[in-house]
């Protein structure tokens, strides 16, 4: 008898689920088409992708390979679709090899160093430059121990010191930033954190 009792519970639950699912899915369809965002993604990546295992390097995989991996991890970790899209955008933006063209040297996106820091760098480096997540060094130490040219090169091309569990992605993971932008943001962090 408990057999039939469970079956009834099971079928009832399935029905209830179906009723919840369909309105929920159409509701979500309206809200879910927000495209992935690189700077939100860098924060979500740093917050979520070290919960079960060590952070994997964005440069480990090609753009198309990250897609099924992030899908797999979205299901494994119980992330929302938006979190997954943001993280995917970040990973796909952070695995590129930057091309330095002569013409973009002086150009900027028209953002101040502060704006760039708050959009792209703050997720990892924190508002105080001391690091928002494990694996991020205090910027103060680095700014005091390295030359401007070296730092600029590392911001532009990405950097991982030997033994560091995490890499600084090229241009902080935002391929749209020009060398001019990077100089502005370096000036800003030198003023703020040095």
Partner 1 sequence: MNSSLFRPLVGSLCVLAVIFLFPVQNLAAAEDTAALKARIEALERELDEIKAIMKEQTQQSAIKEEEVEEKIEAVQRDVEATKSAQDEWKTYASKVHLAGYGAVGYTNDDPKNDRFSQVAFNPIFHYSFNDVILLESELELEIEDDGETELALEYMTIDWLVNDYITILAGKFLSPLGNFRANLHPAWVNKLPSAPSGFGHDQAAPVADVGLQLRGGVPIPMRLRYPAYANYKVFVSNGPELELNEAGDEIEAVESAGVVSNEDDNFLFGGRLGLLPIPSLEIGGSAAYGDLALEDEEDRNYTVWGFDGHWIWKNLDVRGEYIKQDVDSLPSSVAPDEQKWEAWYAQAAYKLFSTKFEFVTRYSDYNSSHADVEQEQWALGLNYLILPNAMVKFAYEFNNGFENEPTNDDRLFIQFAYGF
List of E strands, 22-62: none
> Quick one: 23 or 163, whose CB is closer to ligand HEC?
163
What are the φ and ψ backbone dihedral angles of 177, each rounded to 5 degrees?
Answer: -70, 135
Supply the minimum distance, in Å, between the C-beta of residue 182 and partner 1: 25
Q: How many helices (H) and strands (E) does the chain have?
A: 9, 0
3-state secondary structure of 133: coil
Distance CA 5, CA 8 (A): 5
Smallest distance, partner 1 to C-beta of residue 128, A: 14
Pick what 3 binds: ligand HEC, partner 1, none; C-beta below 5 to 8 Å, kind-dependent.
Answer: partner 1
Q: How far apart are CA 59 and CA 26, in angstroms?
A: 36
The pair of three-digit structure tokens given for residue 43, joined into one six-digit string? 């924060």
Contact 54, 2 (CB under 8 A): no
Interaction site with ligand HEC (CB under 6 A): 42, 46, 48-49, 51-53, 56, 69-70, 72-73, 76-77, 87, 116, 120-121, 123-125, 135-137, 139, 142, 146, 150-151, 154-155, 159-161, 164, 166-169, 171-173, 185, 189
Interaction site with partner 1 (CB under 8 A): 2-3, 6-7, 9-10, 13, 17, 21, 24-25, 27-29, 31-32, 47-48, 50-57, 60, 62-65, 67-69, 71-72, 74-85, 134-135, 163-165
């Amino acid at each position: 008898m408990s057999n039939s009792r469970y079956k009834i519970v099971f079928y009832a639950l399935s029905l209830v689920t179906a009723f919840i699912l369909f309105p929920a899915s159409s509701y979500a369809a309206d809200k879910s088409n927000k495209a992935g965002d690189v700077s939100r993604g860098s924060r979500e990546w740093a917050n979520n992708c070290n919960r079960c295992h060590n952070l994997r390097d964005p440069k480990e995989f090609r753009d198309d390979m990250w897609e099924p991996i992030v899908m797999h991890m979205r299901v494994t970790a119980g992330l929302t679709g938006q979190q997954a899209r943001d993280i995917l955008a970040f990973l796909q933006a952070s695995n590129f090899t930057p091309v330095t063209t002569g013409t973009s040297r002086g150009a900027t996106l028209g953002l101040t160093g502060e704006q760039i820091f708050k959009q792209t760098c703050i997720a990892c480096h924190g508002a105080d430059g001391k690091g928002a997540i494990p694996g991020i060094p205090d910027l103060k130490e680095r700014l005091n121990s390295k030359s401007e040219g070296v730092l600029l090169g590392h911001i532009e091309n990405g950097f991982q010191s030997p033994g560091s569990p995490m890499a600084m992605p090229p241009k902080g993971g935002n391929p749209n930033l020009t060398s001019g932008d990077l100089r502005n943001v370096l000036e800003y962090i030198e003023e703020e954190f040095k």
